[in-house]
Structure 1
Amino acid sequence: MKHICTILLLLAITVIANCQSDYYLVIGTYTKGKSEGIYVYKMNTATGDVNYVNKATASNPSYLDLSPDEKFVYAVNEDANDKGSVSVFSFDKTNGALKYLDKQTSGGDHPAYVAVNKTGKWVAVANYTGGSFSTLPVMANGSLGVPTTVQHTGSSVNKERQEKPHVHSTVFSPDDKYIFVPDLGIDKVMIYSFNPGSGKPEPAPVPFAAVPAGGGPRHFTFHPNGKLAYLVEEMGGEVSGYKYNNGKLTLIQRISTYPADFKEKKWSADIHISPDGKFLYASNRTPANNITIFSIAKNGKLTFIGSEPTKGDVPRNFSIDPTGSFLLVANQESNNVVVFKRNKETGLLTDTGKRIEVGNPVCLKWANER
């Protein structure tokens, strides 16, 4: 009888977890206009309704990440003149409150991306203008220790945009053994072995994956199966697909996020894969202002299936909610987040008409309500 009761209890917990519909949405922004910092909302993924919860003041917290236990929020302060830093906030999920705890230098100017590793003991941050990235230890209270900074060198063909390194993101591999560091300025995805003990990055046996000159690597993501990875190139507007194995990337495809006859400026931003691994989405900023949608074949190759206008200007990051039901887009210059319903069978998007009005939104992250 005791064994049966235990099984029933576990089943009940599983059912409750699967029925969860409310999630916190944490939004990072630029504070040059109407925004004051980081904003917390709550979204019902059954209805798509979103309600304001809380906010925390911070300077240009453009990109965020949460600790694995979701007790802490790490936000870059995308500032220059040796003021680039990472701020730490505690996150109380009983009421959605953020409380500032600490700030640590990012090791370079204009940090534009931050990621927490799987153990929650290390943070990696990309310094865009500084052309470097840093790893920072996480202390027992969630605060950050002194960074270890790796400086990139080099340039590429576009003398205005690629005159020096511009590190754009820092992505831990699924097994936490590597860090992938797309650098727009040198047209390479740099690959580093990562020691979770010392936190010190070292060049991997295959130290980089190059893209065609002028592509401008930006954001990078792994497929849920851990065997595929994808890169979006800001300047070339291409997505590169790779087979992934133990720190090595093998190119399988390059495909444009723009129509073949598109003649205007290409300016891609973000890339994400649906939770079921069937669809890939990439955002393009002005003048295209759209989300391009691809299906993903079993061999990892992409097929274009459509694009959806973002209903706003300069879409930056976007995010699919944990249930896969909605895709939300942060339109930086329109001061809003647009909520799209996502068809899980076709991958296509439909505007719900729902909007979150927030100044200069950039980054969208999710947290469980409990």
Structure 2
Amino acid sequence: MKKRVSIILVILAGLKLCAQNTYVFFGSFNHDKETEGVYVYELDTLKGKLSKVTSAKGVLNPSFLTLSEDGKYVFACTDSKTKNAGSVSSFEFNPEKRSLTFINSQKSGGENPVYLAAHKNGKWLINGNYTEGSVSVYPISENGWIQPRVQNFQFSEGSVNPDRQDRAHIHSTVFSPDFNYVFLPDLGADKIRAYRFDSEVKEPLKEADKPFTQAVLGSGPRHFAFHPNGKFAYCIEEMGGAVSVYRYDAGTLEPIQRINTHSDHLKGDFESSDVHISPDGRYLYASNRGSENNIAIFSILNDGTLKTVGYQSTKGKHPRTFTIDSTGKFLIVAHPVSGTAVVFKRNTETGLLKKTGREVKLNGVSTVQIRKY
């Protein structure tokens, strides 16, 4: 009997070691360092329920988050939407202790940082600054400490809309699948800028042989995503209300399609914002703010082009960002205007979404990331 009990205990201990928890990280426009700015929740992967784990104060407007490849560090755009300010900050997340600890901050090299990308080797961080259109590169120490920036590129030219495109506005910084290139959608210049990235040198960013891809004038390129097969890339255009599809090869983009993210009845004043692809590469999702507050769902055909499936209300106001978990079962949306985070279950066959669990109230919630530990 004792032997059987011992065997059972060993099995249970093994199961506990193998068990993985899914954590969800939120950033927000908190507008006050004394209030919570970064939040960590646990996702119940059976019921889709979010339960708070911890949070962090002491930073202002952590508007965008990204995680290190190993999930140990959380990097944030901070001092966003703050006059004459801008920074990037790092935190350590410990899933065993369920703690989030501030590490340090560095100046962002430009006003209103809006996007961060971490290199897979854990040694580099790239930040995009929206207001005056710039990008900064930082080395990362082994302990998650952000070193002072080693490069900062400023862009100036605008485009055809004087109200929105008086100058460059870098809206995201996205590594290619092999991490040898970085793409910078520039809403102000209607360009997708391209740079080589050599992680073994002190100044890793160098303009690519083809330095940019021209987008449709007045379209306002915003966020950018690669297909899991690495052959196609997709750019959501904030002002044009569309997704442009590109064939990708070794740092170059070849346009093959442009498709609306909105229903035909909507005319002008688009506010398209975020784009993600399901892990199996079968579906693309694109969020629309403004009057629609929905996600457009597309099936991805074998040649990389998109076919509209339908539109799903996000059950909140201003779906600025969203993300899909690594299993493809869940999609979570952050709404800064309604201050809500909403969890949806994905039908992996049809691509359609169904709200699950209760929405979580988070003041000014602006960004979301999901990670298994």
Give the equivalent residue in structure 2 for 1:26: 25
> Which amino acid in 2 is paired with 1:299?
D
Q: Could you report, residue by residue, the CA deviation over 1:332-369 in whole angstroms, capped at 9, with x for unpaired residues?
A: 11111111111000001112252111111111112223
> Which amino acid in 2 is paired with 1:225?
N
1:300 to 285, 300, 304: 304
Give the equivalent residue in structure 2 for 1:208: 212
Give the equivalent residue in structure 2 for 1:340: 344
Task: Tell me the distance in 1 between the aligned counterparts of 2:355 and 2:38.
Answer: 25
1:217 to 215, 218, 221: 221
Normalized against structure 2, the TM-score is what?
A: 0.92
> Which amino acid in 2 is paired with 1:127?
N
Where 2:337 maps in the other structure, the secondary structure is helix
Q: Is 2:253 the partner of 1:254? A: no
Q: For the Cα contact (< 8 Å) 1:35–1:358, is it kept in 2? A: no
Task: Tell me the distance in 2 between the aligned counterparts of 1:238 and 1:165.
Answer: 20
The unaligned stretches of length 5 or more in structure 2 are 1-10
Task: Tell me the distance in 2 between the aligned counterparts of 1:350 and 1:98.
Answer: 31
Task: Tell me the distance in 2 between the aligned counterparts of 1:353 and 1:144.
Answer: 37
> Which amino acid in 2 is paired with 1:31?
N
Where 1:161 maps in the other structure, the secondary structure is coil
Q: Is 2:167 the partner of 1:164? A: yes
> Which amino acid in 1 is paired with 2:85?
K
Task: Tell me the distance in 2 between the aligned counterparts of 1:322 and 1:81.
Answer: 37
Give the equivalent residue in structure 1 for 2:36: 36
Deviation (angstroms), 1:70: 1.2
> Which amino acid in 1 is paired with 2:54?
N
Task: Tell me the distance in 2 between the aligned counterparts of 1:146 and 1:205.
Answer: 28
What is the 5 A alignment of 1:1-370?
Answer: 22-32=21-31, 36-57=36-57, 58-77=59-78, 78-147=80-149, 148-198=151-201, 199-369=203-373
The 10-residue stretch of structure 1 (331-340 or 360-369) with the greater mean CA deviation from structure 2: 360-369
The unaligned stretches of length 5 or more in structure 1 are 1-11
Q: For the Cα contact (< 8 Å) 2:244–2:257, is it kept in 1? A: yes
> Which amino acid in 2 is paired with 1:39?
Y
Q: For the Cα contact (< 8 Å) 1:45–1:321, is it kept in 2? A: no
Deviation (angstroms), 1:46: 2.2
Q: For the Cα contact (< 8 Å) 1:84–1:107, is it kept in 2? A: yes
Q: Could you report, residue by residue, the CA deviation over 1:164-197 in whole angstroms, capped at 9, with x for unpaired residues?
A: 1111000011111110000100000000011112
Q: For the Cα contact (< 8 Å) 1:238–1:256, is it kept in 2? A: yes
Q: Could you report, residue by residue, the CA deviation over 1:208-259 in whole angstroms, capped at 9, with x for unpaired residues?
A: 1111110000000111111111000000011011111100111110000012
Q: Count residues in correspondence.
A: 355
Deviation (angstroms), 1:30: 0.6
Task: Tell me the distance in 2 between the aligned counterparts of 1:37 and 1:223.
Answer: 31
What CA RMSD, in Å, does the superposition of the two structures yield over aligned residues? 1.8
The 10-residue stretch of structure 1 (238-247 or 200-209) with the greater mean CA deviation from structure 2: 200-209
Deviation (angstroms), 1:79: 4.4
Deviation (angstroms), 1:203: 1.2
> Which amino acid in 1 is paired with 2:158?
S
Give the equivalent residue in structure 2 for 1:6: none
> Which amino acid in 1 is paired with 2:194?
I
Q: For the Cα contact (< 8 Å) 2:47–2:357, is it kept in 1? A: no
